[in-house]
Chains A and B, each alone.
Chain A
């Protein structure tokens, strides 16, 4: 799923490891999200949205829109 996760992370100067810790997931999970190898669950997508204080659809493209 296309997303702006890497852009948002880099804007804040965070490493994948740091973002993973903030979200409660592994660095591998962050990398898989950024490289579109993993579609997040609704729960994880909302956690990411809360962390970056943005709506989910500003971070993840809605493939059905």
Chain B
């Protein structure tokens, strides 16, 4: 299953959403439906499995807590994806602040960590050196096959910004691969 694509699951979520926060079984079902895709997305953003699991769990709790007040509960997957991207961005920003205060921290460990076998590949290393919004847009485009409009909706940014993020992100990837 890839992020936010299977229409059947979105319909499923729409049906259970109003009850989910009051019913453990339904909350459980919501988690099982959406957490794996969110974890894939987080893993591609961070490259770190443990961190990704923590981000997804936190993001899920945040979005599920607001389920009753979401304007479009049927778009739970998109809200979850956006929350993961925002949390990942906050996490790395915090890490950079900490790193500035603790000079012994090796900045390269913030973007590259030997967690999975493919993470050391030049292309994926270059991906994880992109700014978080570019990274998120690229992953949504090339892993989830999301359209520009879907990416704009998911990340809550203007369409023009999506095109700009993708264009600049790809340019940096080409540069990164060429320099390697």
The answer to whether A and B come from one shared complex is no
Q: Residues of A at under 8 Å CB distance from B? A: none
